[in-house]
A and B are shown apart, each in its own frame.
Chain A
Amino acid sequence: MNDRQDFVYSLAASPNFKKDGLIFAAKMGGLFRSTDGGKTWHDSYTALKHTAPLPTTSVAVTVIDDITYAFAAVDGKVLRSLDGGKKWQASGLDSPAPLVTALAISPDFARDGLVLAATMQDGIFFSTDRGVKWQGWNFGLYDSNINALAFVDSQNVIAAAQSGVFISTNAGRSWRDLDFPIEVVPALSAAVSGENVFYIGTENGLYRSVDAGQAWEQIQSGAVEHILLDGHKKILIVRDGDLLHSKDGGKTWRLRAGLKIDSTITCLSAPLGLDTSSPLLIGFENGEVTTL
C-alpha cells in the first residue's frame, strides 16, 4: 500500500475490529480493504470491474445483526455494501456531482438507518434507509462547505464548516450555527465526548465546549486537522503535522512516540481506543497506511 501518487482520505474500522480485523482505506486510487488489522490490503472494488481507479474520498463502516454495512463516497455517489466491502451498489446524490468530505453513521443505525454525507460546496445529504436513497436537507446550513461530522447521539450531530460549527437537533434535517469564534475558522475536524463536550479542530487551534457549544475555550494552538477521543481524558490530535496526545483532557500534551513522519498525515483510526498498546492506523498523503 505504498503508491507515491496516492493519497489516503479516510480510514474506517469495523466496530468488531478485535474479532474481524476489518478496516478500510479510502484513497485516490480507490477503496482498499484489510481483514488482518491493516497488515495486508486488497482492492475492495474488484466486483465493480472498473478499469480506471475510482477515487474514494470517504468511508464509514458499522455492523448490525451480523451484517457489515460499508459506505464509500465516490464522484457524486455513495456506494453501499452489505457484506463488508465485497459487493457494492451505487446511489446518486444530486447534480452537479458533489465532492463528499465525510460520511457518518448514526449511533442508532439499527433503528433509524441514518447515514450523513458531508460535502464541499453542496452541504449535507442524508439517507434514512441505510444508504439506498439520499436527500439534501440544508435548512439553516448557510455554509455548504463541510469538513467533518460528529454524532452526539441519534438526534444531535455537529458539523465543522468553513465559517464555523453547525448543530442539528433533528438528525440532520435542519441546522443552526453555534456561536463559534469566527476569527479561528475554518473548522477542520470535530469530535464529541458525551452529550455536551464538543471538540473542534481549526486552522488556529483546538477548541472545546463543555456546554453543548454555547461557550468555547482554546486548549491547543496550531492547525488541528484530526481529533480522536477515548473516554473523557484521552485525546489524540494531528497538529501542524505532528501527532500529539493528552491523557488528562487536554491539560498537558506529548508527542506520540514511535512514529517517523516523512509525509503529511491525512487521517487516523484507533479501532480499539487510545491506549498506547492498542493499534493506531495512520494514513498519509503519499498513500501509505502505517500501524503504530
Chain B
Amino acid sequence: MNPTPPRSIPEFKQTPEVVFQPRMARAFQAGINKIVDAIRPSLGPYPRAVAINRIGTSRGPELLDNGGIIARRIIALPDRDEDAGAMYIRGALWNLHERVGDGVATSAIIFQTIFNGGLKYIAAGGNGMVLRHHLEAGGELIVKALEKMFQPIAGEKALNGVAKTVCHDHELAEAIGNLISIVGADGILEVRAGRGRGVERELVTGAYWSGAIVSKQMIADLIKARTTFENAAILISDLNIETAQEMVPVIRAAVEAKIERLVVMCTSASEQAQALMLQSRTSGKLQIIAVKTPGLRSDVQMESMTDMSILTGAKMLVKVAGDSLERVTPEHFGQARRIWANDEYTGLIHPQGDPIAIRKHINTIRAAIKNATKTDERRRLQERLGRLLGGTATIDVGGMTETEMETRKELAKRTADALRGAAREGILPGGGSALLACRPALNELLIDKNSLDAKAAHRILTAALEAPFRALMANSGLNEGKLLGEVEQAGAGFGFDLVSKQVREMIPAGIVDVAAVQKQAVISAVRAAALALTIDVLIHRDNPPAVVEPDAPGF
C-alpha cells in the first residue's frame, strides 16, 4: 500500500485570501490543464516519457510514462490559485490509481474535456448546478452502456494478453498473468524487490500472518528455519503470559482435549513460560510453541485474531474483554491440519473451523469491501479476504538498476490491480473504442428537448468520450479526425490498431481495456469534473493542509 503522497507547502507567501470569479475559474482551469497536459503523453502503447527533477540529489531527472505516477510526483505549482486546481484533479487521479491501478491518463483527459467544455458553457450563461446534474446523469448512462459491453475473461493466456496491454513488459506480464490466474481476483499477490535482473514467482499455500515464533529455540527444523505442527491446535489471544504458572490451565485443557501439538498465540511470553513450553518438546506427549499476536495496532490485532478464530474454530481470548488463561477450556482451541511458524510469520494450512461460518465471514468482508469508501480501508479488507481464501502469491521483481527495479515494482503492482479488475468484471474493446461506442447512449439526455443544460451536457460528454481516442491518435502522430471517421464506419467493437496501423476489431486483436478500470475512470472523471464546475470561490488559508485527501467526496 502506498501512502497518500505528502504535499509540500509551496514557497509563496501564505496569506489568507478569498478568490472570486472570474479569477478563480481561470486559475483553476490553468492548474487542471497543466496536470492533464503533463499526463497526456503517457496514453497509449507508445507512451512518451515525462522527465521530473529529483529532489535533493544530483542524479538526472526521473523518466516516467505512467499517468498515476506522474500525477503523484507533481506536488505543487508555483501559483497558488493554479495549485488549488492542480491539487484537486491530482487527488481524483491518485485516488483512481490507488483504486484500480490504471486508467489515470484516460480519466484525466475525460475530466479535462468536461471541465473545459463546462466552463465555456457556464461563462456563456449556463447554470453550473443544473449542468452538474445532467453531467452526472450522463455519466451513469455511459457506465450502463459500458457494462453492456463487458466480456468475461478467463484463463492464463487471456490474462497475459491483458497484462501486456497494461504494462508493455512481456516478462512481467506473463508472470502476473500466471499468478492472477491462480490466486484469482481476490487472492493476495505480494510484489517485492528482487535481487537479480529478472522476475521470480512463488506460491505459498494457506494463510499467514506476521506473527513470529517467540523464541528461536522453539524452531524445530533448523534447515527450513521453521516449526510445523501437523493436526495441531491453536490458542488465539493477545494476552501477556508473565509466569509459567499461567500456562497450567492451558496445558490441563489441552490434555483434556487430547491435543498433542499446540500453538499458543500471545503478545508476549516470559522466559519462565517459554522454558515450560520448551520442556514440552522433550516430553513427547504435548508439544507447545508460542507465537506473537499479529499486528502492532490493536484494531489490526483484533481483525487478525477474529479471522484466525473463524478459520480454525477457536474462541479467542482478548485482554480488553478481561479474558485470562485461567479459564481456558477445550472449546478455546482452534484446529488446523498444519500450523507453521518461523521468525517472521505464523501460517495455517487447511484450518478446520466451521466452513459455513467461514463462508459467512468471507461474504461479510466482501460486502464491506464494496461499501468501503477509504482506499486504506479497502486495501486492508482485501488483504484479509485474500488470507481467508487461502494462498498467497509473491513476485520478486528485479531490474538492471535500482531505479529500474523500483519502476518495474510499481508497474507490477499496477498491472496486478488492473488484472484483478479484469478477472472480476471482464474486459472491453481497447484503444478508446468502447468509449466511442457509448456515445449513442447519451441520447437519453435529450428527452427534454427544451433543456439547454441537458443539450450542453450531451455535447460535452460526447466530446469527452471521443477525447481519449483523439489523444491516442495524436500521441502517435496520426490524423485523429480522419481515423475517427474510419472507426465509426467500421462499427461497434472496432478501433484503430496503432501497432499494425489499421482499423480492426479490438478484442480479437488482443487490444483490450480492463472493464473495471474504464468504468472507474469514467465515474471518477465525470463526478470530479461536474463537482469542480460548481466551485465558485476559492479560499486560501494561512496554514494549508499538509496532505491532499484523495478520498474526498465526489471522487
Taking the closest CB of chain A, its distance from the CB of B159, in whole angstroms, is 10
Contact flags (1/0) for A226-245 with B, using CB distance below 8 Å?
Answer: 00000000000000000000
Q: Which residues of A, 138-191, contact B by the 8 Å Cβ criterion?
A: 138-145, 155, 161-164, 169-170, 173-177, 182, 185
Interchain CA distance A123-B355 in the complex, whole Å: 12
Binding site for B on A (CB under 8 A): 95-96, 121-123, 136-145, 155, 161-164, 169-170, 173-177, 182, 185
Whether the pair B337, A162 counts as a contact (CB closer than 8 A) is no
Whether the pair B184, A163 counts as a contact (CB closer than 8 A) is no
Interchain CA distance A138-B181 in the complex, whole Å: 13
Q: Does B233 interact with chain A (Cβ within 8 Å)?
A: no
Instruction: List, in ascending order, chain B residues with CB within 8 A of A161's CB.
Output: 355
Given contacts A96-B230, A96-B231, contact A174 B184 (CB under 8 A): yes
Whether the pair B182, A142 counts as a contact (CB closer than 8 A) is no
Given contacts A142-B388, A170-B154, contact A122 B337 (CB under 8 A): yes
Given contacts A96-B230, A121-B352, A143-B359, contact A138 B388 (CB under 8 A): no
Interchain CA distance A96-B356 in the complex, whole Å: 24
With A144-B355, A173-B181 known, 4 other A-B pairs at CB within 8 A are A96-B337, A162-B355, A164-B359, A169-B155
Partner of A142, one of B156, B183, B205, B362: B362
By secondary structure, the A interface counts as loop
Instruction: List, in ascending order, chain A residues with CB within 8 A of B390's CB.
Output: 138-142
10 closest Cβ contacts across the A-B interface? A163-B355, A139-B391, A143-B355, A163-B359, A162-B355, A144-B350, A96-B230, A169-B154, A174-B182, A163-B356
Using CB atoms, name the residue of chain B closest to A162.
Answer: B355
Whether the pair A173, B356 counts as a contact (CB closer than 8 A) is no
Using CB atoms, name the residue of chain A closest to B180.
Answer: A174
Binding site for A on B (CB under 8 A): 154-156, 181-184, 186-187, 203, 205, 230-231, 337-338, 350-352, 355-356, 358-360, 362, 388-391
Interchain CA distance A152-B338 in the complex, whole Å: 32
Instruction: List, in ascending order, chain B residues with CB within 8 A of A95's CB.
Output: 230
Given contacts A139-B184, A140-B184, A142-B388, contact A155 B355 (CB under 8 A): no
Whether the pair A143, B187 counts as a contact (CB closer than 8 A) is no
Using CB atoms, name the residue of chain A closest to B187.
Answer: A139
Interchain CA distance A123-B230 in the complex, whole Å: 16
Whether the pair A142, B355 counts as a contact (CB closer than 8 A) is yes
Instruction: List, in ascending order, chain B residues with CB within 8 A of A138's CB.
Output: 205, 350, 390-391
Instruction: List, in ascending order, chain A residues with CB within 8 A of B355's CB.
Output: 142-145, 161-163
Taking the closest CB of chain A, its distance from the CB of B429, in whole angstroms, is 22
Instruction: List, in ascending order, chain B residues with CB within 8 A of A169's CB.
Output: 154-155
Whether the pair B187, A140 counts as a contact (CB closer than 8 A) is yes
Q: List 16 A-B contacts (CB under 8 A).
A: A96-B337, A122-B350, A123-B350, A140-B183, A140-B184, A140-B391, A141-B390, A145-B355, A155-B154, A163-B355, A170-B181, A170-B182, A173-B182, A174-B183, A174-B391, A175-B184
Instruction: List, in ascending order, chain A residues with CB within 8 A of B186's CB.
Output: 140, 176
Interchain CA distance A182-B155 in the complex, whole Å: 28
